[in-house]
Amino acid sequence: MAKSMARYFDGVRETRVWRSIFRSGTGSSTLHRALAIQQNVFLHLFSTKVRRRMLTFNATWYLGTLTFGTFLILVATGVLLMLYYHPSVPQAYADTKDLQFVVSSGLFLRNLHRWSAHAMVFLVFAHMFKVFYRGAYRAPREFNWVIGVILLLVTLLLSYTGYLLPWDQLAYWAITVGSNIASAVPVFGDKVHFLLLGGNAVNANALLRFYVLHCMILPLTAIFLIAIHFWRIRKDGGLYSHQSEPATLRAQAAPAKVAQ
Amino acid sequence: MADEKHTNPESGGVTKGTDPDLDRREFFVKLGLGSLSIAAAGTVAFAYQFLSPNVLFEPSPVVNAGKPESYPLDSVTLDVNSGLYIIHSKEGFFSLSAICTHLGCMTAWKADLGIIACPCHGSKFKQDGEKIQGPAPRPLPWKRVWLSDDGDLMVDRSTDIRPMQFVRV
C-alpha cells in the first residue's frame, strides 16, 4: 500500500503540470535537494544546506520559528475577524460582542487571536534572550539583531494598536494613558499625540487610525522585516553555533580567552 | 576628489584644465539631488498636512453647565461627558478640569475624604485642584467660567485661568 502510494506520487511528480510548477525536477541527489530549496520562492530565503545539529531543539529551542508560527496564526485569525468588525464608534464594541456570542466560531477565533498575541510577545522576548545569552548577536550578525529589535517594536506596536479595537472601557483608558505618554516627548510630543489620534482625544479618528495601523501598516512592515530577517540568517553564515565559527570569529567572540 | 576626476583619461572628455563635460555632469548631479531633496521635503510636509485633520468632529470646548441654582453650596459635581468639576464653594463658583495631569485619566470626587482622586495611578488633589500626592506633575487646572445672558453657567475647557478666580452669582 505504502509502496503503491509512493509510486503514485512519483508519477504525479513526472506529470507536465507538476514539472511546470516545480522546476527543480525529481530525484534525491544533493543537487535536486538543493534545487528544491533554492528554486522555491519561500524557501530560497534559507540556506540550501543546514547542519543537522542546528535543527535540533537544543540549538535554538525553535523560538524564532515559534514566533513566526504565532504571527501566521495572528494573520489568519485577524483576517477572519476583520470580516465581522467595523472600526466605527457605534459598532466596534457591538461587533466585538457579536464575535463572542453570535458569530459561529467567533469566540474561538477571537480567543485564538488574543492568546497568540500574548504568546508572540512572550516568544519574541524569549527568542531575544536566547540569542543574547548565546552571543549570537555578534559579528557578522549585528545587523540581523538590529532588525530583530525593530521587529520587537513592531510586535509591541501591533499589541498596542490591537488593544483599542474592542472599544471597551479598558481599551479606551489604556489608549488614553498610552497616547498621553507620547505627549511627554519634548517639543514634538503634542504633535505626535495629535497625529497618532487624529484629534485631541481618543475618538472615531483614533479608532480608524489604530485599525489601519493594526491591520495594514504594521503587519506589512512586519512581513517585510521578517523576510529580511530570515534571508540574513543565510547571508550571515547560517544559524549561530559556537563550534562552527571560524577561529578568528571565535576569538573575537570570546576576548577573555584570548587574553590568557 | 574633483581634481582626480579632471585628470582621469577614461572620463572621455578633455583632460587638461577645467573639463566642461564633467562640470556639466556635476551640475546635473547636484541639480538632480537638489530636486530630489526638495521633493522629499515636500513629501514630508504633504504627509504631515494630510495626517493632520482640518476638521474635527469633537465636542465644543465651551460647555453649558446649567443654572447655578442646581449646584448646592459646598458641592463638587463631576460632569463625566465634559470632564469638568463644577464646584460651588463659599467664595463662589469655579470649574476644575477632571482630567488627571499625569496621563489623562478621568479623576473622581471622593466625598467622604473630601479629595479628588485618580483611579489610574493614585494621584490625589484638593478640592481647589492643588496636588496632594503624585504621580501627577501639576495641579488640576482651573477653567474659565462665566454666566451667559440666560443666566447659565458656562465653562470654556480650552482656557486655563489662574486659580482662585471665583464667579459669584
Q: Which domains does chain B have, with CATH numbers?
A: 2-51 (no CATH), 62-161 (2.102.10.10)
Q: Given this model, what pLDDT does residue B19 score?
A: 64
Nearest CA in chain B to A203: B58
Interatomic CA distance for residues B134 and A120, integer angstroms: 35
pLDDT band at B2 (very low <50, low <70, confident <90, very high): very low
Mutate to test the interface with B, among A169, A180, A183, A213 (most CBs of B within 10 A): A180
C-alpha cell recorded at residue A116: 497568540
Any idea which residue has 474592542 for its cell?
Answer: A166
Q: How many CB pairs under 8 A join A and B?
A: 31
Q: Given this model, what pLDDT does residue B17 score?
A: 58
Which chain A residues have any C-beta within 8 angstroms of a chain B C-beta? 173, 176-177, 179-181, 194-195, 198-201, 203-205
Query: Is residue B95 scored above 70 in pLDDT?
Result: yes
Query: Is residue B76 scored above 50 in pLDDT?
Result: yes
Closest Cα of chain B to A179: distance in Å? 8
Average pLDDT value for residue range B122-126: 92
Any idea which residue has 509510486 for its cell?
Answer: A7
Mutate to test the interface with A, among B58, B99, B121 (most CBs of A within 10 A): B58
Interatomic CA distance for residues B77 and A118, integer angstroms: 41
C-alpha cell recorded at residue A97: 460582542
| CB spacing of A201 vs B58 below 8 angstroms | yes
Query: Is residue B20 scored above 70 in pLDDT?
Result: no
* Half-sphere exposure (Cβ direction) of B88: Cα atoms closer than 13 Å: 13
| CB spacing of B52 vs A195 below 8 angstroms | yes
C-alpha cell recorded at residue B168: 459669584
Query: Is residue B49 scored above 90 in pLDDT?
Result: yes
Query: Is residue B4 scored above 60 in pLDDT?
Result: no
Average pLDDT value for residue range B48-67: 90
Interatomic CA distance for residues A201 and A199, integer angstroms: 6
| CB spacing of A180 vs B53 below 8 angstroms | no
Cβ-based neighbours of B63, under 8 Å, separated by 6 or more = B79, B82, B84, B154, B155, B156, B157
Give, to the nearest 10 degrees, the angle between helix A204-212 and helix A189-197: 80
- The CA-CA-CA angle for residues B119, A182, A74, to 5°, reads 85
Q: Given this model, what pLDDT does residue B14 score?
A: 47
ipTM above 0.85, yes or no: no
Query: Is residue B10 scored above 80 in pLDDT?
Result: no
Q: Given this model, what pLDDT does residue A260 score?
A: 44
Which of A179, A181, A200 is facing B58, going by the closest CB pair? Answer: A200
Mean pLDDT, 10 residues at a time, chain A of 260 residues: 83 88 82 89 90 86 96 97 96 96 96 97 97 89 96 97 95 93 90 92 94 97 97 89 64 54
Q: How far is CA A248 from CA A155, A244, A245, A257, in A?
A: 35, 11, 8, 12
Q: Given this model, what pLDDT does residue A1 score?
A: 67
Any idea which residue has 530636486 for its cell?
Answer: B35
Q: What pTM was computed for the model?
A: 0.83
Give, to the nearest 10 degrees, the angle between helix A204-212 and helix A169-183: 80
